[in-house]
Amino acid sequence: ITLERRAMQDVAAVGCAEATIAKSMKVFRNGQWAETTEFHPGDRVRVTLTVTADDDLDYLVITDPRPAGFEPASQLPEPVWSEGTCFYRENRDSSTNLYINRLRRGSYILSYELYAAQTGVFTSGAAQLQSQYNPIVAAHSSGSVITVSSHE
């Protein structure tokens, strides 16, 4: 048996009949947000999770692993109102969790902010969505590799 080693960028997004999730990262430079995978220490970074629900869904948990070298901009857990829905955001040691009681059919853009803190090449793990009471409703985003390099 041969085991093949896979890199995070090889992880493809997978959805289910009820939901999909996509993840992107943007940096705030020159007064605007721009999507990128190249950052500098001190950059303000917005993680954007695009959730598409083809049915009304209840009790969803979204777990988004935080890349090493990044720190949350807001440390305290709090309820967030966005895209016409309310969710609870909780920062853990290595991930950010979003808890959604009720998500009506449609597309939603949920986001939170981080700061780039360390230089290096890191993996940005796949964001995972799952219903707590209907585990067959599950999806994950694709993975990617990001770079934090010092200013030139």
Q: Which residue has the higher pLDDT, 55 or 13?
A: 55
The string of DSSP letters for 63-78 reads: EEEPPTTEEES--S-E
Pairing of strands 44-53, 78-82: unpaired
| Residue 139 confidence (pLDDT) above 80 | yes
Reported confidence tier of residue 2, pLDDT bands at 50, 70, 90: low
Q: Which residue has the higher pLDDT, 9 or 129?
A: 129
Across the chain, how many H-helices and E-strands are there? 0, 14
Backbone dihedral angles phi then psi of residue 102, each to the nearest 5 degrees: -145, 125
> Which of these, 149, 147, 132, 143, lies nearest to 9 by C-alpha position?
143
Least confident of 5-9, 59-63, 113-117: 5-9
pLDDT at 9: 67
Q: Which residue has the higher pLDDT, 5 or 43?
A: 43
